């Protein structure tokens, strides 16, 4: 590809037609073997089989993909931008906000390089996630679209309250609230700091010291109050749920996503089916402890609890899948496995009986629904933001190809080539992203009001 063409791709001023690619559009539709996608003004203008391509814009830059695969930009629904190789939540709390910001900037760049054009951060320190989101929107740093949460809201001795009492500070991983009104107050405080999503911890966790994952640590009243307030202000809610009751309380409260879902019983499955909530099973967090426990010298509590949870977790996922509950991909990345390897979650979904196509939908179309932003991202359809990945290979034949950096040929965000091997081969390095970002929360407001 000559530099003039590449410049045209990078500045987004000309329409781009990607032709002769295999198109996976993020829905259950069968892939198109020989297809095209046309991008213009930041959006997908047209997509379909080569035979259906009408005479395009004469000014469009045409790129022959020679059979490479085009798929929507990947979406990780459960990540923590401040995490970098952390073993436990105590590690998170020992990280300073300043170092967390450095981590987040590096992680954002790793994510976009790996074909992830949107990430939902589900718990930060300070207010790092929203700050990084805004810096990306302003074009000051490279990265995906970020759906930002604030600190994880939980009660005393809950999921995100991890350090001894004398150590507790204002800016750590947890925002501690007790009782419905304190939950409401914290939701309102976080809205003022600009978050898009509210993260609540409703059960304990393997990697925290005070609450076990099978313990429910909130009341129904606390959850109902917090979710109601978030929804009144147009924010989504993700709830950390590893105990039986935490799932049911969250679904009754109207949560948008259930994170982990380690323990599901029949009643929870029925509640799920009657709701529009989506399950984010976060298999990377399970398998990273099981696989790296020895190497990382994890505490006995963490490893033995995860060993107990393994069968329940995988059994619950199977039950959910068989019941037709929508499942979105999110690996809890930054916990042990590094950012940039987020597509490992898709490999684990396939190991648990998903087809490669279903795993891709979990990281695209269904992920966008989990974020309540399916009108903008997650599928290749006219009008959607032109966020897409060109993969040199066939992920339906081997889902692990999505983890292979050498195969990520091109990453487009808002129709601009922002990452991928094509850029690197031409020595262009990091993309100039000035003015490229689109604030997803803003788009959502505009749509609804």
- Report the sign of the C-alpha dihedral through residues 335, 336, 341, 346, in that order: negative
- Residue where the block lists tokens 């590449």: 6
Nearest Cα to 162, choosing from 259, 236, 94? 94
Burial of 349 by CB count in 10 Å (0-12 exposed, 13-18 middle, 19+ buried)?
buried
| Under rule CB under 5 A, residue 93 binds Zn ion | no
26 three-state secondary structure: coil
Residue nearest to Zn ion (CB): 332
Cβ 77 to Zn ion, closest distance in Å?
A: 10
346 three-state secondary structure: helix
Q: Choose one: 167-175, 206-214, 271-279, 328-336; the region binding Zn ion (CB under 5 A).
A: 328-336
Cβ 421 to Zn ion, closest distance in Å?
A: 30
Closer by beta carbon to Zn ion, 161 or else 387:
161
Cβ 398 to Zn ion, closest distance in Å?
A: 28
The angle at the Cα of 391, spanning 389 to 397, to the nearest 5 degrees, equals 125
Structure tokens given for 248: 């049911």
Cβ 132 to Zn ion, closest distance in Å?
A: 17
Torsion of CA 100, 101, 105, 108, to 10 degrees: 60
User: How far, in Å, CA of 392 to CA of 389, rounded?
Assistant: 10
Query: What is the crossing angle of helices 283-292 and 300-322, to 10°?
Result: 140
Closer by beta carbon to Zn ion, 44 or else 200:
200
Closer by beta carbon to Zn ion, 83 or else 249:
83
Q: What share of the chain is helix, strand, coil (3-state, %, to 5)?
A: 40, 20, 40
Q: For Zn ion, which residue of 332, 347, 387, 392 counts as binding (CB under 5 A)? A: 332
Q: Choose one: 33-41, 46-54, 332-340, 382-390; the region binding Zn ion (CB under 5 A).
A: 332-340
Cβ 259 to Zn ion, closest distance in Å?
A: 6
Residues 346-365 vs Zn ion: string with x where CB under 5 A?
Answer: --------------------
Render the burial of 363-391: b for 16+ CB within 10 Å, e for the rest.
bbbbbbbbbbbbbbbbbbbeebbbbbbbb
Cβ 123 to Zn ion, closest distance in Å?
A: 6
Nearest Cα to 444, choosing from 385, 390, 375, 383? 375
- Phi/psi at 186 (nearest 5 deg)? -70, -40
Q: Choose one: 60-68, 208-216, 325-333, 344-352; the region binding Zn ion (CB under 5 A).
A: 325-333
Closer by beta carbon to Zn ion, 206 or else 332:
332
Q: Choose one: 37-45, 86-94, 324-332, 378-386; the region binding Zn ion (CB under 5 A).
A: 324-332
Closer by beta carbon to Zn ion, 196 or else 387:
196
Residues 234-263 vs Zn ion: string with x where CB under 5 A?
Answer: ------------------------------
- Residue where the block lists tokens 């929360």: 441
Cβ 50 to Zn ion, closest distance in Å?
A: 42
- Residue where the block lists tokens 């996922």: 317
Q: Residues binding Zn ion: what is the number (CB under 5 A)?
A: 1
Cβ 163 to Zn ion, closest distance in Å?
A: 18
Cβ 240 to Zn ion, closest distance in Å?
A: 7
Closer by beta carbon to Zn ion, 229 or else 332:
332
> Which residues lie near Zn ion (CB under 5 A)?
332
């Amino acid at each position: 590809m000559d530099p003039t063409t590449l410049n045209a791709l990078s500045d987004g001023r000309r329409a781009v037609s990607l032709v002769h690619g295999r198109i996976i559009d993020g829905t259950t539709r069968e892939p198109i073997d020989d297809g095209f996608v046309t991008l213009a003004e930041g959006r997908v203008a047209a997509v379909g089989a080569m035979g259906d391509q009408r005479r395009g814009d004469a000014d469009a830059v045409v790129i022959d993909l020679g059979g490479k695969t085009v798929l929507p930009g990947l979406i990780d629904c459960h990540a923590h931008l401040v995490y970098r190789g952390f073993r436990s939540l105590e590690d998170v709390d020992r990280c300073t906000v300043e170092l967390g910001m450095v981590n987040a900037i590096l992680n954002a760049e790793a994510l976009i390089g790996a074909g992830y054009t949107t990430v939902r951060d589900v718990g930060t320190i300070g207010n790092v996630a929203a700050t990084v989101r805004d810096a990306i929107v302003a074009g000051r740093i490279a990265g995906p679209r970020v759906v930002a949460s604030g600190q994880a809201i939980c009660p005393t001795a809950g999921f995100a309250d991890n350090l001894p009492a004398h150590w507790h500070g204002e800016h750590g991983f947890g925002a501690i609230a007790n009782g419905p009104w304190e939950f409401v107050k914290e939701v309102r405080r976080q809205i003022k700091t600009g978050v898009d999503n509210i993260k609540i911890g409703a059960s304990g966790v393997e990697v925290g010291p005070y609450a076990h994952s099978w313990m429910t640590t909130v009341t129904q009243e606390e959850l109902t109050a917090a979710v109601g307030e978030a929804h009144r202000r147009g924010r989504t809610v993700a709830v950390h749920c590893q105990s039986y009751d935490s799932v049911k309380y969250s679904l009754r409260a109207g949560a948008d996503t259930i994170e982990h879902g380690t323990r599901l019983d029949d009643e929870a499955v029925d509640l799920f089916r009657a709701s529009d909530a989506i399950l984010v099973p976060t298999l990377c967090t399970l398998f990273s402890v099981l696989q790296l426990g020895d190497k990382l010298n994890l505490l006995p509590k963490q490893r033995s609890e995860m060993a107990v949870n393994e069968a329940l977790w995988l059994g619950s996922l199977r039950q959910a899948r068989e019941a037709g509950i929508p499942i979105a991909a999110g690996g809890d990345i930054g916990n042990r496995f590094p950012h940039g390897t987020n597509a490992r979650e898709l490999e684990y979904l396939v190991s648990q009986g998903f087809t490669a196509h279903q795993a891709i939908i979990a990281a695209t179309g269904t992920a966008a629904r989990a974020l309540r932003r399916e009108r903008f991202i997650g599928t290749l359809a006219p009008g959607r933001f032109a966020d897409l990945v060109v993969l040199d290979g066939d992920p339906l034949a081997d889902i692990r190809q999505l983890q292979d950096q050498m195969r990520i040929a091109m990453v487009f965000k808002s129709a601009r080539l922002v990452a991928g091997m094509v850029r690197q081969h031409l020595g262009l390095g990091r993309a100039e992203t000035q003015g490229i970002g689109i604030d997803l929360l803003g788009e959502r407001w505009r749509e609804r009001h």
